[in-house]
Amino acid sequence: MIYQCTTCFGWFLFPEIHVNYNEAPWSQERIKTFGSVVERTRPYARNMKLFMEQRCGHEATDGISVLEIGCASGFLGAAMQELGVKYVGIDIDRAGIKCAGEHGIRAYELPAERASELQQRFDFLLAFDVFEHVDNPRQALSEFLKVLKPSGTAIICVPNPDGLMAWLRSYEIVNWLAKRILGNTRHIIRSIDGYWHNIAYSRESLLWLCRSLKLEPASISSISINDPVFGYVQPNGKLLYRLVEWIARQLKRDAQLLMIIKT
């Protein structure tokens, strides 16, 4: 069952599904194709570093420190280290952490809700397509603040439940067509699929979550899954998807929500 909370306006799956991320097929695929994934990620890493330097008030130096929550095999870390960024990643995917270590990337097997156990502070914290997986989002966000420097910035990206495809797939006929035409076997409603995602955050629920910790986010905006700065997790360059992406932009129903918090 999927319901919308009348207090925070987020969407929730009940009962929750708990996934063993050590058996995730997409993680194994990224480990096997590590080199090509890093190559694909390099332009995003360059754009992200520029964003950090120019838009977040940091000087253009190579001394920026970054913690990535949900780093998988460390492919973003590899691209960022090439740019001189001081990178650390955490994930609960044991195989991914091992792969990162084998490529000289500092990464630790640790859940988001225990990030402060690193006993380090960073200029930036990145959590892309991760926050919808955590068991305790309020605790996780509280931990994020503990690992940021006083002038630090958290950048959190989640699927948008009001994005065009997530919204359309709240209708049974669209789910049926997606399964028949696209071969997509997942039954998705508001970006909750009963397998990976237990929570779907609306703008209102992200704002409510922040305010429950007496925070005010610097911004909450919508972006495409192919965003040139933050679209590194699962870009899709197929023509059909690009067309859907363009339509979503016109309707203001982009696929992702991007929240920036400054301490």
Determine the pLDDT at residue 109: 95
Sign of the alpha-carbon dihedral angle for 126, 132, 136, 138: positive
The total domain count for the chain is 1
Determine the pLDDT at residue 204: 92
pLDDT in tens, 178-194: 666 655 555 566 666 65
Determine the pLDDT at residue 58: 54
The token duo for 124 is 């930036």
Residues 97 and 31: their CA atoms lie apart, in Å, by 10
Beta strand 256-262 pairing with 86-91: unpaired
Integer angstrom CA distances of residue 119 from 92, 99, 122? 18, 23, 10
Tell me, what CATH number does 163's domain have? 3.40.50.150
Give the number of other Cβ atoms within 10 Å of residue 139's Cβ.
16
- State the residue range of the domain holding 42: 2-262
Place of tokens 């028949």: 180
State which H helix or E strand residue 4 sits in. Answer: strand 2-4
Interior angle at CA 203, CA 197 and CA 209, nearest 5: 75
2-4, strands of its sheet edge to edge: 2-4, 11-13, 199-200
Tens digit of pLDDT at every position of the chain (263 positions): 665 777 776 766 665 666 666 666 667 777 788 889 999 999 999 999 999 988 666 554 557 999 999 999 999 999 999 999 999 999 999 989 999 999 999 999 999 999 999 999 999 999 999 888 888 899 999 999 999 999 899 999 998 988 887 777 676 666 666 666 655 555 566 666 655 677 888 899 999 999 999 999 999 999 998 999 999 887 888 887 788 889 988 989 898 999 999 98
Rounded to the nearest 10°, the torsion over CA 98, 99, 105, 106 is -20
Determine the pLDDT at residue 174: 62
Pick from 203, 159, 158, 153: which is nearest to 51 by CA?
A: 153
Beta strand 122-128 pairing with 148-159: parallel
Determine the pLDDT at residue 60: 43
Sign of the alpha-carbon dihedral angle for 250, 217, 59, 52: negative
